[in-house]
Amino acid sequence: MEYDEIVTSPYHGKIKAIPIQEDSLITEWEPLFIIQSLEGENKTIAIGISGRVQSIEVQEGDEVIPGMVLAYLREDSILIGAD
């Protein structure tokens, strides 16, 4: 399976929430993951593309490190909201 985008963690911490599901459509800057950093701050992971979630590689409660793959996305070739 081919992927257009790999979402990785920029933080050390724990997955607090995953507001997306596999095979769901996402929009630009939609929250994909909430990570609780080692300092206790909630960090939202979002990216500037729209498309479909191909797979989610982590679960709530998983420990993550910078560079760890969180999800694979297929970028939408059709602009959402374009006339």
Half-sphere exposure for 75 (CA within 13 Å, toward CB): 10
| 83 confidence band (pLDDT: 50, 70, 90) | very low
What domains sit in the chain, N to C, each tagged with a CATH number? 5-75 (2.40.50.100)
Q: Kindly state the helix (H) or strand (E) to which residue 39 belongs, with its residue range.
A: none
| 78 confidence band (pLDDT: 50, 70, 90) | low
45-76 b/e (C-beta count within 10 Å ≥ 16 → b): bebebbbebbebebeeeeebeeebebbbbbeb
Q: What is the pTM of this model?
A: 0.87
Q: What is the pLDDT of residues 34-46, one digit of tens each?
A: 999 999 999 999 9
Q: What is the pLDDT of residues 55-75, one digit of tens each?
A: 999 999 999 999 999 999 999
For residues 82 and 33, the model is more confident at 33
